Structure 1
Amino acid sequence: MADWQNYGREGGLYRRLRDACAADWAAYTWHPFVQQLAAGALPLPAFRHYLVQDYLFLIHFARAKALAVVKGESLEAMRGKAGAVLAILDETKLHLKYCADWGLDEAAVMATPETMETVSYTRWVMDRGMHGDILDLEVALAPCTVGYGEVALRIMAHAGRADTYKSWIEAYASADYQAMARAAAARLDALGDSHGGEARFATLARDFRMAAQLEARFWQQGLDIL
């Protein structure tokens, strides 16, 4: 089994969800945008467009994590999610600095409107969280958190990998990010056990698939501007 297939436990909810939408998951984690990024062939305008929208995405991701505090099943879970919210808000500052490294001015980033892809993805996640319980919300969030970890490991294992976007790749391949991705998969497994994941599997799989599809469209927007 490849490293990027090792998130979650065998027979756990995360792996079952991933396997249930294998084609859509592959289309997301090895999207042409990702392949070009790995090979160093991704045009810079496409990458810059992605970086700006990813910053705007992070703002809503923090809101979704804050909703997970409200939906948290225990005080321990609420504390963990509160910490995650603060970490993401700190990440937005680092993301702006990273954007500047690629020639993107902070004022310009902040003034950029959200694309339809960004709006549709982030509001869908919030909708799943508002209308469901903590498991529904975590299923909607996991493809981003865990998926980016897988994307980075896929790229690191790619024979034709180039160094053009090395800093981005290494950020998600880092030990810290990989630990976070594995924790997110393990949490999904645990919530599947405690919140009736087996009985709800069809609905959860539908949402996991939708999140993977929305992630693929998020990549695609960078190529569509070319």
Structure 2
Amino acid sequence: MTPASDPTPFAALVARCAPEWEAYCRHEFVRRLAAGTLPAEAFRRYLRQDYLFLLHFARAWGLAVYKSRSIAELRQGLDSLKAIVDLEMGLHVDYCAQWGIGADELEALPEARETMAYTRYVLDAGHRGDLLDLHVALAPCLVGYADIARWIEAQPFTVRGTANPYEAWIAMYASEEFQAAAQAERAWLDARLAGQTAERLDGLAATFRDATRLEIDFWQMGLDSA
């Protein structure tokens, strides 16, 4: 029998937070979205707050630029920042319009407590720590959404195509482009987590766990509004 290969450093980090990761990636919000049964208002609430999250996500990548110690890291942070500001924000605004949420409404939105808690936690992790701390705090979003999309595609209860009002959302995160970006982030994390001390890994696991818990709250925020 061939022995199982050791998990990659990032996979090992995720495994240390397995209950939280499972609760996040298999949340009822995700299940209903996959089945096309999520209440429309729950999704609109999520979309509105996700716009505000993207603003702070961009700030986090700006912080990554500042925290960079090499030209490669600087370029990575800058490319991510530009992708959000120059592309993703516009796509999100256009998608919100399809759900009856106008740009003026988005600009005037108050932040939900869950949005404030999550985004400020990520930024604080980056300010307190180094670039690795920041990436670990951001990983549940980038890597998590890719994992969620793959899981959705594998479920027998998932409805695809025009029968599911959330098809465009699923397709976006299941796309080759997004999956490749998530895989690149996993590779970056694997390279930098390798060789870290046990104490350092304990701290990073705590950051990852807390960020994942805040992602769970973000899903629940949508459900609670319905």
TM-score greater than 0.5 by the shorter chain: yes
Give the secondary-structure state (helix, strand or coil) at the position aligned to 1:103: coil
2:45 aligned with 1:49, yes or no? yes
Aligned to 1:179: 180
Tell me by how many angstroms 1:82 deviates. Answer: 0.3
The aligned counterpart of 2:215 is 215
Alpha-carbon distance, 1:13 to partner: 2.3
Q: Specify the alignment match of 1:14 in structure 2.
A: 10
C-alpha distance in 2 between matches for 1:79 and 1:198: 30
Q: Could you tell me which runs of 5 or more consecutive residues in structure 2 were left unpaired when the two chains were aligned.
A: none
Pair 1:109-2:109 in alignment = no
User: SS of the counterpart of 1:119?
Assistant: helix
- Inter-partner Cα distance in structure 1 for 2:22 and 2:39: 22
SS at 1:200 equivalent: helix
Distance 1:190 1:198 in 2: 16
The alignment's TM-score, normalised by the length of structure 2, stands at 0.93
For 1:198 and 1:94, the matched residues in 2 are separated by: 41
Residue 36 (str. 1) matches residue 32 (str. 2): yes
Whether contact under 8 Å (1:13, 1:197) holds in the other structure is no
Q: How many Å separate the matches in 2 of 1:174 and 1:198?
A: 36
Pick aligned residue for 2:82 from 86, 90, 100: 86
**Quick one: distance in 1 between partners of 2:136 and 2:52?**
21
Q: Taking structure 1 as reference, are residues 35 and 197 closer, same or farther at Cα in structure 2, changes over 3 Å only?
A: farther
User: How far apart in 1 are the matches of 2:100 and 2:152?
Assistant: 24
Distance (whole Å) between structure 2 residues aligned to residue 75 and residue 220 of structure 1: 39
In 1, Cα distance between the equivalents of 2:65 and 2:12?
Answer: 26
Task: Provide the identity percentage.
Answer: 47
Post-superposition CA distance 1:40-93 (Å, at most 9, x none) = 000000000000100100000000011111111311111111011000112111
Where do residues 51-70 of structure 1 align in structure 2 (5 Å cutoff)?
51-70=47-66
Instruction: Give per-residue Cα distances to partners, 1:182-205, cap 9 Å, x unaligned.
Output: 1111111111137x3544111111
SS in 1 for 2:194: helix
TM-score (ref. length: structure 1): 0.93
- Structure-2 change in CA distance of 1:157 and 1:197 (3 Å): farther
Task: Give the letter aligned to residue 176 of structure 1.
Answer: E
What's the C-alpha RMSD, in Å, of the aligned pairs?
Answer: 1.3
Distance in 2 separating the partners of 1:142 and 1:18:
10
Cα displacement string for residues 112-159 of structure 1 (whole angstroms, at most 9, x for unaligned residues): 101000000000000000010111111101111000001111111111
**Alignment partners' CA distance in 2, 1:57 and 1:142:** 14
Tell me which residue corresponds to 1:118.
Answer: 115
Q: Which runs of 4+ in 1 moved over 2 A?
A: 9-13, 196-199
Where do 1:188-199 residues align within 5 Å?
Answer: 188-193=189-194, 196=196, 198-199=198-199
